[in-house]
Structure 1
Amino acid sequence: MTTPPINTTLRHQVIRIYKELLYLGRDYPLGYAFFRQRLHRAFASQAALRDEEAIKRGIARAEYVKKEVEAL
């Protein structure tokens, strides 16, 4: 049984927010290496998502995290 392909628009949005968060992690108080590892683990844990609504909720959560990191 194969899994349905992810919507390419959503895929690009996920990659964009990942790169933005990675860029913001340069100035993270606990260090870039710590931030990058945690970010990678968070995104990798959600890699199996195929439901578009779940992916959209994940993107919204990532946008919230982005605002919190910017506030640091």
Structure 2
Amino acid sequence: MSQRLRAIALYKELQRLGRDYPDPNYDIHGTIRRLFEKNKHLTDPSEIERALEHGEYMRKEILALYSLRKYRHLKRLYY
């Protein structure tokens, strides 16, 4: 998959994940957009790859945050 398609897919996935972000006061959609716009001028493939890896790291952190939120909710219900 080309880097452009990977970046677009990652952007869409991060925006979808941002819908359920636990803190309503934090502008997750704006943050994601600013990060992608900041890196849109990159032309070196290694720098682009590094930026995509950072985006993947953000995706994993958001998913971990969601699973932690679910765990805490279940813990409150049963303890």
* TM class by smaller structure: 0.7 to 0.9
Shift of 1:31: 3.0
Unaligned stretches of 5+ residues in structure 1:
1-7
* Structure (1 or 2) with the larger CA radius of gyration: 2
Secondary structure of the corresponding residue to residue 27 of structure 1:
coil
In the TM superposition, what is the alpha-carbon distance from 1:33 to its structure 2 partner?
Answer: 7.7
Q: Identity across aligned pairs (percent)?
A: 37
Cα–Cα, structure 1 residues 68 and 11, in superposed 2: closer, same or farther, change >3 Å?
Answer: same
Listed one character per residue, the Cα deviations across residues 13-71 of structure 1 (whole Å, up to 9, x for unaligned) are: 00010111111001112239811111000110001000011001111110010000001
**Which of 43, 48, 69 is the aligned partner of 2:41?**
48
List runs of 5+ in structure 2 lacking aligned partners. Answer: 66-79
TM-score by length of 1: 0.82
CA distance in 1, matches of 2:4, 2:39: 12
Please list every run of at least 4 consecutive aligned residues from structure 1 whose deviation after the TM superposition is greater than 6 angstroms. Answer: none
TM-score normalized with structure 2 length: 0.75
